[in-house]
Amino acid sequence: MTVAQPTRTTQPTLIASPPGTGGEASPLPQRILMKGNEAMAEAAIAAGCDAYFGYPITPQAELLEWMARRMPEEGRVFVQAESELAAINMALGAAAAGARVLVSSSSPGISLMAEGMSYMAGSRLPVVLINVMRGGPGLGSIGAAQGDYLQATKGHGHGDYRVPVLGPSSIAEAIDLVREAFAIAERYRTPVILLADGILGQAMEPVSPNFEALAPSTPDWTLDGADGREPRVVKSLHLRPEDLERHDIALQAVYEEIEANEIRWAGEELADAEIILVAYGTAARVSRTAVQRARAQGLRAGLFRPISLWPFPAAALREASAGARAVVAVEMSAGQLVEDVRLAIEGKVPVFHHGRMGGMVPTPDGVVGAMRQAWAVTDGGAA
C-alpha cells in the first residue's frame, strides 16, 4: 500500500550517486518525510485497521486528523467520539464484532480509557492503543514525556491483567511496531499499547512509503451473528469467584506465553561497555548521542534499548550488563523505567537513574554527566 500525500502532487525522482563515492549513479530508495503521528496512522491503515475511534488532544492530534481524512477514503470507519470514554467503548464493541481497531490519545485521555481497556483485557478483545505521551500528572504540559511508563507496563486499569507495550524510538520503527502491535493483539486476543511521546509524534523523518500489510485474521470468537451456529459470549463479568479465578488463570497463561515469545530489544556499543545506558523512545535517541560523546572522551559507554517494555527484556539486560561497572536508566520521567532495570539486574551491578520531567528532555551532555557520576561513585569491582 502506498502512502497518500496530501501536501504535494509531485514525487521526488532524484537519481544521484552517494556523495564522495564517484561511483555510478544509482537510484536512491524513494523516501518521503512524514510526521510520526501521520506515519503511525498510515501504518495502521496499511495494517488493515478497520475502525478508528478517538478524541483530539495535543500532541497526538495529527494522528486523528490523518485518520479523519484517510479512513473514509478507504471506505473504513472513523468516529470522533464525544469523549475518550466513548471512544474506548466504541472500540470494545467494534473489536467484539471482529473489527481490527485502533484508538489513540495522549496521557490524560489515556487515563480516561483505563476502565475500557480493563474491560477489553478481561473480555479478551484485541485493540491497539497509541499513547503519544505528554507531561503530567493531571493536565500537565504538552511537552514530550515518558511519565506513563508504569501506567502502561503495570496494567493501566483495574484488575489482574497485563498489556504488551511497545516503545518505538524512531518513526520508521514506529511504523513497523504498529503492524506488529496488531499482530500481537490478535495472536493473543489482548489490547496492545504503543508508547510514543510528543517528540516522536511531532517530528518528521524519512520513511519508505511502502508500508507493509497484515493478513486478515479469522477469529472463531467474534460476535458476527449466531444464525446457524452456537451463540458466543464476550464479557468481562464473572460473578462467581470460582469462575473468575478460572478465567484469570487462563489470562495469566496467555501472559506467560507473551513473556516467552514477544521480547524485543536492541543494543548499541554493548560489547566492551563499562557504563550501560538503558532507555527507550526519545530518551534512547538522546542516549545514543551521549554514548557517542562519551566514547569520544574515552569512556566506554553502551546503550541497551528495550523495545518491548512489557514483557521487559530482563534476562537480556542482565546478560548484557554482566561485565559492566554501572547501569544508568535514562528517562523522561522521575524514576519509572529504573524500577524494571533494578528488577532485571537483581543487584548484580549498581543501577542509577537520570531523568527529566514535565515535558523537559534530558540533554546528551546531561546524560554524559550522569555516566561520569556513576563512574565516580563505583569502584569497578562489580564484575
Binding site for other proteins (CB under 8 A): 7-10, 12, 14, 16, 18-19, 28, 31-33, 58-59, 142-143, 198-199, 202-206, 282, 285-290, 292, 361-366
- Output the smallest distance, CB 356 to other proteins, in A: 10
What gap in Å lies between CA 194 and CA 167, rounded to an integer?
Answer: 6
Measured CA to CA in angstroms, residue 365 lies from 326, 337, 362 at distances of 18, 20, 8
CA distances from 210 to 30, 39, 43, 100 (A): 10, 11, 9, 20
The minimum distance between CB 114 and other proteins, in angstroms, equals 26
Three-state DSSP class for residue 284: helix
Q: How far is the CB of 156 from other proteins (least distance, A)?
A: 26
Least separation in angstroms between residue 133's CB and other proteins is 14
Alpha carbon distance 319, 276 (integer Å): 12
Residue number with CB closer to other proteins (204 or 253): 204
What minimum distance in Å lies between the beta carbon of 143 and other proteins?
8
| Minimum CB distance to other proteins smaller for 178 or for 290 | 290
CA 87 remoteness from chain centre: 20
Q: Which is nearer to other proteins, 116 or 198 (CB)?
A: 198
Task: State which residue, 89 or 104, has the beta carbon closest to other proteins.
Answer: 104
The order of strands in the sheet holding 351-355 is 265-268, 301-306, 275-278, 326-331, 351-355
Say if residue 107 is exposed, middle or buried (CB neighbours under 10 Å; 0-12, 13-18, 19+). Answer: buried
Contact in structure between 24 and 49 (CB atoms under 8 Å)? no
Residue placing its CB nearer to other proteins in the complex, 89 or 141: 141
